[in-house]
Amino acid sequence: MALKRVMVLTGGGDCPGLNAVIRGIVKRAAQEKDWEVVGCIESFNGVLREPTEIVMLDEKSVEGLQIQGGTILGTTNKGGPFAWPVKEADGTWTTVDRSDEMLRKLQYMGVDAVINIGGDGSQRISLGLYKKGLNIVGVPKTIDNDLSMTDYTFGFQTAVQICTDAIDKLVTTAASHNRVFIMEVMGRDAGWIALHSAIAGGADVCLIPEIPYDIERIKQKIETRYNKRRGFCVIVIAEGAMPQGGGITGTETGEVGYQHIKLGGVADKLAADLKTAGVEHDIRCTILGHLQRGGTPIAFDRVLAAEFGVRAMEFVIEGQFGQMVAYHHPDIIGVSLEEAVSRPHLIDPNGHLVHTAKGLGIELGN
């Protein structure tokens, strides 16, 4: 009997739990007699490049992978089949659509189905390819937790744990020196990492993109945390946060194929603005950056990643394509890719999480 072939790939920024998903897919496939799994290196680049970069994935190759951070397949958040960067004769860069060529190549390579593990950008690519006839299943990944139609993406809880551990450490040094500490965390346009870790770590102030902040309110909160000279204050700020009437803080990277503004710098900006507003206490900034994406996934993310991997492979076996696996407590279900990318998952300023934060006395800046 000819084996059917499913190709697995990881796209977008890396995230703790990617390897655990790959392991789940391979282990579930191994229970079938008629499926083999191959991995594509660096998102779809492994197919688009010549020579192609495809690896066989068997049970041996995924042994113990649930604890390993990063992705054994490599990843990229640049370019892709619909926007492949090409250098013009004058040295400038443009993009070309190589999706049809890639689909032909996949057919030639005997790929019957694809599982694309990635965030919103990757799932938009999944949708585009599905509309062109590819048998594809999506698996939602991102530390930002900004994909709608799933309660959580894997990697998010690990990032929250890393940030919470960091707050616990900052509190002791802040208290010892009577300082204001501003900790900048990732999350792009969503404040999930910031708000979860601020609640878990007992921060005094939390600033998120969904609630533009008033600097005066933060200044007042800082003063309530001090008795004359003595006291301290811990502020968690999401990289996408902005003052009322202001915009995001970020830079163009100039990297070929990189389509985002690189967010960052909000902590330093807030520190400068607080000084200008008259805060006289010492202020220090800590930017956690990519530490939030590195290392081993916590148990919750390993379980979620395993559930996503196993279910994604079952969708392939059942021939259910154009779907993204999703966690709808208590179930793992399928949602259409179309719905999955239709809108981002942001914090509701009137929702329960904001309510809880306010109930704890956390200043949100509005």
Where on the chain is the footprint of ligand F6P (CB under 6 A)?
A: 13, 77, 119, 142-144, 186-188, 239, 262-263, 293
Amino acid at 78: K
> Which one, 106 or 193, has the nearer CB to ligand F6P?
193
Q: Identify any residues that bridge with 81 across adjacent strands, giving them in sequence order.
A: none
First-to-final CA distance of the chain: 65
Q: Identify any residues that bridge with 344 across adjacent strands, giving them in sequence order.
A: 147
Pairwise CA distance, residues 204 & 363, whole Å: 6
Catalytic residue, chosen from 58, 90, 100, 144, is 144
Closest residue to bound ligand F6P by CB: 186
CA angle 317, 320, 326 (to 5 degrees): 100
> Which one, 143 or 218, has the nearer CB to ligand F6P?
143
Pairwise CA distance, residues 300 & 7, whole Å: 26
Nearest partner of 21 among 5, 32, 33, 37, judged by Cα: 37
> Which one, 160 or 316, has the nearer CB to ligand F6P?
160
> Which one, 126 or 135, has the nearer CB to ligand F6P?
126
Question: What is the chain's percent helix, strand, coil content, to nearest 5?
Answer: 35, 25, 40
Q: How far is the CB of 239 from ligand F6P (least distance, A)?
A: 6
Q: How far is the CB of 304 from ligand F6P (least distance, A)?
A: 17
> Which one, 10 or 135, has the nearer CB to ligand F6P?
10
Pairwise CA distance, residues 221 & 235, whole Å: 10
- 152 close to 145: Cβ distance less than 8 angstroms: yes
DSSP 273-290: HHHHTT--S-EEEEE-GG
Q: How far is the CB of 293 from ligand F6P (least distance, A)?
A: 5
Q: What angle do helix axes 156-177 and 192-201 make, rounded to 10 degrees? A: 50
Q: How far is the CB of 163 from ligand F6P (least distance, A)?
A: 12
- 3 close to 35: Cβ distance less than 8 angstroms: yes
Pairwise CA distance, residues 358 & 362, whole Å: 5
DSSP state of 17: T
Alpha-carbon distance values, 13 to 77, 78, 88 (Å) = 6, 10, 27
> Which one, 121 or 231, has the nearer CB to ligand F6P?
121
DSSP state of 16: T
Q: How far is the CB of 258 from ligand F6P (least distance, A)?
A: 7
- 46 close to 56: Cβ distance less than 8 angstroms: no
| 204 labelled catalytic | no
> Which one, 186 or 198, has the nearer CB to ligand F6P?
186
Instruction: Show which residues are catalytic.
Output: 144
